[in-house]
């Protein structure tokens, strides 16, 4: 199907019938579903001729009278008349899948799409997007050390020595010394026996969860869990139950009710929640997992390299022995300026994964450059406490100032993830657009990534932000605050 022709036809049908574009699909029958009569057909023909004068010869009226004529047949007819049938036939059949068509129609309804802008240079406190510099709050460079000479140099040396790929699964000849160095370093940094690294953060979760539980088991996960946890849970075939966000009473009730019905129960939480910027209640989670004989997995994607002593994560933040958590998962894509994930835990469990984790043994080993970048980043964390002082100062200042000007920052506290909750996806998009025009890159998070009533702008604070960056942004937010006022508040004022 030619998507341009399709869009135009659906647009005109919507104008004429009063249906929303999104309601008109390829299979909509013109007579039975859209209710076209002969006057409407004439109108449609007139509008179509404006866009496609070449179809003058088509007798649309005759075609419309057939009961089985649907949107797809009109598109095919117009394509044929325009002589683009052969070209279109070479396009994948997938293009006509309903979900793909619906998605494109949905996108068409959006005037402002802030996604996939092109960056130039290093994304830090500033970012050059589509050629223009912005104050940046939407990348994971929490420590502001991406692109530093030390990390770059380590990567250059790794590439000189090993090239750009290890060219094989680690199990089968893809192992290099750097892999083990990084695994030892991360295990040592956190304070556990061993760790295994994998090529993607998302896939590390998907891969690992399915490796420890199956249909005989139960997964209890926080309701705000990252997609990778949920995908892992779904693919594991275990029974999956979310508990209310950070609500330990709810978790305990579920454990009481369900624990005895399953062979194993896996509790999965995040160290720092990536949408809300709050921290899991680790002491209570450990008490519950011990009391109910469950397994505890903590995803530290946003807590490793941000909280705890020199970024050692959530166990260090609470001053808890890291060995009391069964599985500590994290990613190298945030504070560690690389790509990939790790699982850290007991020697015996990690060795089991080395020989049994499908996404590890049937996948290539981490690239030399990614391994070297992560390793160099952790070395910087170990010695540079000043980075963490700056990061802490910045997020505390930004969070408190945002609250002072009336921003709803939800549960965020003591972390570099600060949401400004707007409560409506369209308004969140608009707010982000206005900030962008002011010179600020702060991405909207809209439904379905969060509930519609919790649509927001999410600010990732970095140690690299200057006070000027933060004050400038706070002033701009203040200027646009009236957009957040809800209809209910307006009614109350009236
Ligand atoms: C909590 C959480 N887990 C896992 C991931 C996936 O990590 P990666 O982007 O490194 O694949 C993310 C990504 O943002 C995340 O926020």
Co-location of 456 and 487 in the same domain: yes
Co-location of 352 and 398 in the same domain: no
Co-location of 375 and 409 in the same domain: no
Q: Ligand 1 centre and the CA of 275: distance in Å? A: 11
Asked if residue 138 has its Cβ within 6 Å of ligand 1, the reply is no
**If you average pLDDT over residues 281-299, what whole number do you get?**
98
- Model pLDDT for residues 472-484, shown as the tens digit of each residue: 999 999 999 988 8
Domain of 189, CATH number, reads 3.40.640.10
CB-count exposure of residue 95 (10 Å: 0-12, 13-18, 19+): middle
Co-location of 367 and 395 in the same domain: no
96 is catalytic: no
Integer Rg of the chain from CA: 27
- Model pLDDT for residues 397-415, shown as the tens digit of each residue: 999 999 999 999 999 999 9
How many residues appear in the chain? Answer: 494
Closest CA to 435 of 127, 202, 95: 127
Q: Total domain count for the chain?
A: 3
% of the chain with per-residue pLDDT over 90: 73
Co-location of 228 and 372 in the same domain: yes
274 is catalytic: yes
Co-location of 236 and 262 in the same domain: yes
Co-location of 210 and 83 in the same domain: no
Asked if residue 201 has its Cβ within 6 Å of ligand 1, the reply is yes
334 is catalytic: yes
Pocket test of ligand 1: the residue of 331, 359, 373, 458 to mutate, having most ligand atoms within 8 Å of its CB, is 331
Co-location of 376 and 428 in the same domain: no
Which residues have CB under 8 Å from 373's CB, separation 6+? 151, 154, 155, 332, 336, 337, 338
Which residue bears the tokens 């990084």? Answer: 182
Residue 109 located in a structural domain: no
Which DSSP state fits 342? E
Q: How many CA atoms lie within 13 A of 291 on its CB side?
A: 11
Closest CA to ligand 1's atom 9: 201
Query: Among 383, 413, 446, where does a domain finish?
Result: 383
Lowest mean pLDDT segment, chosen from 111-115, 139-143, 343-347 = 111-115
**If you average pLDDT over residues 110-128, what whole number do you get?**
90
Among candidate residues 179, 185, 334, 427, the one labeled active-site is 334
Domain of 90, CATH number, reads 1.10.1200
298 contacts 280 by C-beta, under 8 angstroms: yes
Co-location of 351 and 395 in the same domain: no
What residue numbers bound the domain in which 205 lies? 149-383
Torsion angle (degrees, nearest 10) of CA 419, 422, 427, 431: -40
Lowest mean pLDDT segment, chosen from 68-72, 212-216, 251-255 = 68-72
- Predicted confidence at residue 1, as pLDDT, reads 61
Co-location of 224 and 321 in the same domain: yes
Asked if residue 274 has its Cβ within 6 Å of ligand 1, the reply is yes
Co-location of 222 and 323 in the same domain: yes
Asked if residue 202 has its Cβ within 6 Å of ligand 1, the reply is yes
Give the predicted TM-score (pTM) of the model.
Answer: 0.82
Q: Ligand 1 centre and the CA of 125: distance in Å? A: 21
Closest CA to ligand 1's atom 5: 202
- Predicted confidence at residue 494, as pLDDT, reads 42
Co-location of 228 and 317 in the same domain: yes
Which DSSP state fits 171? I
Residue 457 located in a structural domain: yes
Residue 112 located in a structural domain: no
- Predicted confidence at residue 257, as pLDDT, reads 97
> Distance of alpha carbon 448 from its chain centroid, rounded?
11
């Amino acid at each position: 199907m030619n998507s341009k022709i399709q869009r135009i036809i659906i647009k005109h049908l919507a104008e004429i019938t009063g249906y929303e574009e999104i309601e008109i699909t390829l299979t909509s029958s013109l007579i039975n579903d859209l209710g076209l009569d002969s006057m409407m057909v004439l109108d449609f023909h007139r509008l179509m001729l404006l866009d496609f004068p070449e179809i003058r010869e088509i007798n649309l009226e005759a075609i419309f009278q057939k009961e089985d004529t649907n949107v797809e047949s009109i598109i095919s007819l117009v394509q044929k008349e325009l002589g683009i049938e052969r070209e279109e036939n070479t396009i994948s059949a997938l293009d006509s899948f309903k979900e793909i068509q619906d998605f494109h129609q949905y996108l068409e309804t959006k005037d402002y799409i802030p996604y996939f802008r092109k960056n130039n240079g290093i994304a830090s406190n500033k970012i050059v997007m589509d050629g223009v510099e912005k104050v940046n709050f939407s990348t994971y460079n929490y420590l502001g050390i991406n692109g530093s000479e030390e990390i770059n140099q380590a990567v250059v040396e790794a590439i000189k020595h090993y090239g750009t790929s290890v060219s094989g699964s680690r199990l089968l000849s893809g192992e290099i010394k750097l892999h083990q160095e990084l695994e030892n370093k991360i295990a040592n940094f956190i304070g556990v026996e061993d760790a295994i690294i994998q090529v993607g953060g998302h896939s590390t979760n998907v891969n690992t969860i399915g490796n420890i539980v199956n249909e005989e088991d139960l997964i209890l996960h926080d309701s705000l869990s990252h997609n990778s946890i949920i995908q892992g849970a779904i693919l594991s075939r275990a029974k999956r139950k979310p508990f209310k966000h950070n609500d330990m009473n709810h978790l305990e009730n579920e454990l009481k009710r369900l624990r005895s019905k399953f062979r194993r129960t896996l509790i999965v939480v995040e160290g720092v929640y990536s949408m809300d910027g709050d921290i899991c209640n680790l002491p209570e989670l450990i008490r519950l997992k011990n009391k109910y004989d469950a397994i505890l997995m903590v995803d530290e994607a946003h807590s490793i390299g941000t909280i705890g002593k020199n970024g050692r994560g959530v166990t260090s933040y609470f001053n808890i022995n890291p060995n009391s958590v069964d599985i500590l998962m994290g990613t190298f894509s945030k504070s560690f300026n690389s790509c990939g994930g790790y699982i850290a835990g007991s020697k015996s469990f990690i060795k089991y994964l080395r020989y049994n984790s499908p996404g590890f043994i049937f996948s290539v080993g981490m690239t030399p450059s990614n391994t070297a970048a992560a390793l160099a980043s952790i070395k910087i964390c170990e010695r540079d406490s000043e980075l963490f002082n700056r990061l802490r100062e910045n997020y505390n200042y930004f969070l408190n100032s945002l609250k002072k000007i009336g921003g709803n920052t939800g549960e965020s506290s003591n972390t570099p993830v600060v949401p400004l909750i707007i409560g409506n996806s369209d308004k969140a998009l608009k707010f982000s657009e206005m900030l962008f025009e002011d010179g600020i890159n702060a991405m909207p998070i809209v439904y379905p990534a969060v509930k519609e009533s919790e649509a927001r702008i999410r600010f990732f604070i970095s140690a690299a932000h200057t006070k000027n960056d933060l004050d400038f942004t706070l002033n701009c937010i203040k200027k646009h605050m009236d957009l957040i006022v809800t209809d209910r508040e307006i009614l109350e004022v009236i």
